[in-house]
């Protein structure tokens, strides 16, 4: 989305979302340690976002070891952190204007894999400017990660951020591609390198705790109807977690909504060979001089 489409006030909401998100991310990451609760960390970050004046743009993703995306604690989840690789992926919106960020907190002793995705993000940020092609950004990411002896996850990408929309064009690949589009002044995009010591591809796992509205239509079941009312009023088109629903038997209500095609789920994405994945992500606004990173620590 370019500057022709957004007002100065709307850009400032993107920036405010980024400021809130940077603080919530840093505070949540500092709390990740062996023995700590997944659910408590997720709820801490989501509550902190609200305290700081924003709203979660999607449920806090807590991906462990071979997981790459879409993992979030369930209702009454009792999981705790072990000596594992932990990826936190967090989003904030202010009136629907978004920021998206991720960081790896490594409790497993694989520093190089963490550095690979972090340095790849730095390299990508260095080349972002008006006119750069998304495939060239991917080439920078791929070169750094392969230089560490690892593979980029090629079927996950960075992405644009829209109003009440977490993923919009353009996609930002994590490898060199001949196709792609040129970035323009005012584009708001999330750059999101993933590095792995596996094959570089992810697939869908058997579980899902994150959902989003697909379409509105009547439904007779009372709990499902109450859940749909909350979804359309609070979350709109943004992803939400089962544990966010203020209805009895939330899992059953969601099952009915999914059966009717009203919501769709996001299965947890896992590295195909079951190997480790690290991640680093920032949101940027493309400027005349390069880019403004909205989610950088202050």
Does residue 1 form part of some domain? no
Indicate if 89 belongs to the active site.
yes
Does residue 147 form part of some domain? yes
Does residue 3 form part of some domain? no
In order of 76, 203, 240, the CA distances from 265 in angstroms are 19, 14, 10
Does residue 68 form part of some domain? yes
Q: Convert the pLDDT of each residue in 89-101 to its tens digit.
A: 999 999 999 999 9
Q: Are residues 192 and 237 both part of a single domain? A: no
Indicate if 119 belongs to the active site.
no
Does residue 256 form part of some domain? yes
Does residue 298 form part of some domain? no
On whether 100 is known to bind a ligand per the annotation, the reply is: yes
Does residue 28 form part of some domain? yes
Q: Which residue of the set 197, 208, 281, 282 is catalytic?
A: 281
Q: What is the pLDDT of residue 44?
A: 98
List, in order, residues 6 or more apart from 65 with CB less than 8 Å away: 84, 85, 108, 276, 277
- Output the pTM of the full model: 0.95
Rg (C-alpha) for the chain, rounded Å, is: 19
Using H for helix, E for strand and C for coil, what is the string for the chain? CCCCCCCHHHHHHHHHHHHHHHHHHHHHHHHCCCCCEHHHHHHHHHHHHHHCCCEEEEEEEEEECCEEECCCCCCCCCCECCCCEEEEEEEEEECCEEEEEEEEEECCCCHHHHHHHHHHHHHHHHHCCCCCEHHHHHHHHHHHHHHCCCEECCCCCEEEEECCEEEEEEEECCCCCCCCCECCCCCEEEECCEEECCCCCEEECCCCCEEEECCCCCCCCHHHHHHHHHHHHHHCCCCEEHHHCCCCCHHHHHHHHHHCCCEEEECCEEECCCCCEEECEEEEEEECCEEEECCCCC
Q: Are residues 143 and 60 both part of a single domain? A: yes
Per-residue burial over 30-47, b if 16 or more Cβ lie within 10 Å, else e, is eebeeeebbbebbebbbe
Q: Are residues 243 and 135 both part of a single domain? A: no
Q: Are residues 222 and 201 both part of a single domain? A: no
Q: Are residues 254 and 282 both part of a single domain? A: no
Q: What is the pLDDT of residue 3?
A: 44
Q: Are residues 59 and 157 both part of a single domain? A: yes
Q: Are residues 13 and 92 both part of a single domain? A: yes
Indicate if 136 belongs to the active site.
no
Q: Which residue of the set 66, 159, 163, 282 is catalytic?
A: 159
| Phi then psi dihedrals of residue 55, to 5 deg | -135, 145
Q: Are residues 243 and 167 both part of a single domain? A: no
Q: Are residues 252 and 159 both part of a single domain? A: no
On whether 159 is known to bind a ligand per the annotation, the reply is: yes
Does residue 34 form part of some domain? yes
Indicate if 110 belongs to the active site.
no
On whether 78 is known to bind a ligand per the annotation, the reply is: no
CATH assignment of the domain containing 88: 3.90.230.10
Q: Are residues 119 and 244 both part of a single domain? A: no
Q: Which residue of the set 89, 187, 197, 208 is catalytic?
A: 89
How many domains does the chain divide into?
A: 2
CATH assignment of the domain containing 247: 1.10.10.10
Q: Are residues 247 and 283 both part of a single domain? A: no
Domain housing 107: 8-206+274-293
On whether 281 is known to bind a ligand per the annotation, the reply is: yes
CA distance 240 to 261: 16
Q: What is the pLDDT of residue 210?
A: 98
In which residue ranges of the chain is pLDDT below 50? 1-4
Q: Are residues 201 and 285 both part of a single domain? A: yes
């Amino acid at each position: 989305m370019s500057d022709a489409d957004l007002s100065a006030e709307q850009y400032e909401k993107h920036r405010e979302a980024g400021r809130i998100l940077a603080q919530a991310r840093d505070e949540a990451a500092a709390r990740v340690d062996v023995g700590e609760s997944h659910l408590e960390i997720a709820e801490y970050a989501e509550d902190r976002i609200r305290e700081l004046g924003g709203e979660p743009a999607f449920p806090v993703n807590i991906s462990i070891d071979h997981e790459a995306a879409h993992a979030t604690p369930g209702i009454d989840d009792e999981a705790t952190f072990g000596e594992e690789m932990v990826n936190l992926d967090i989003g904030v919106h202010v009136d629907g204007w978004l920021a998206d960020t991720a960081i790896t907190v490594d409790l497993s002793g694989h520093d190089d894999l963490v550095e690979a995705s972090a340095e790849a993000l730095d390299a990508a940020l260095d080349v972002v400017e008006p006119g750069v092609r998304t495939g060239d950004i991917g080439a920078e990411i791929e070169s750094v990660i392969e230089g560490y002896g690892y593979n980029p996850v090629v079927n996950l990408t960075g992405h644009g951020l829209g109003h009440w929309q977490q993923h919009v064009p353009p996609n930002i690949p994590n490898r060199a591609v001949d196709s792609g589009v040129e970035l323009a002044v005012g584009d708001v995009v999330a750059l999101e390198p993933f590095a792995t010591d596996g094959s570089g591809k992810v697939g869908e796992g058997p579980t899902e705790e994150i959902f989003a509205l697909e379409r509105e239509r009547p439904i007779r079941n009372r709990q499902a109807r109450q859940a749909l009312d909350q979804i359309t009023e609070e979350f709109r088109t943004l992803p939400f977690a089962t544990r966010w629903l203020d209805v009895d038997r939330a899992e059953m209500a969601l099952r009915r909504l999914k059966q009717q095609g009203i919501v769709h789920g996001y299965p947890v994405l896992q590295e195909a060979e079951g190997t480790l994945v690290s991640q680093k992500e920032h949101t940027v606004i493309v400027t005349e001089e390069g880019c403004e990173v909205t989610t950088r620590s202050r």
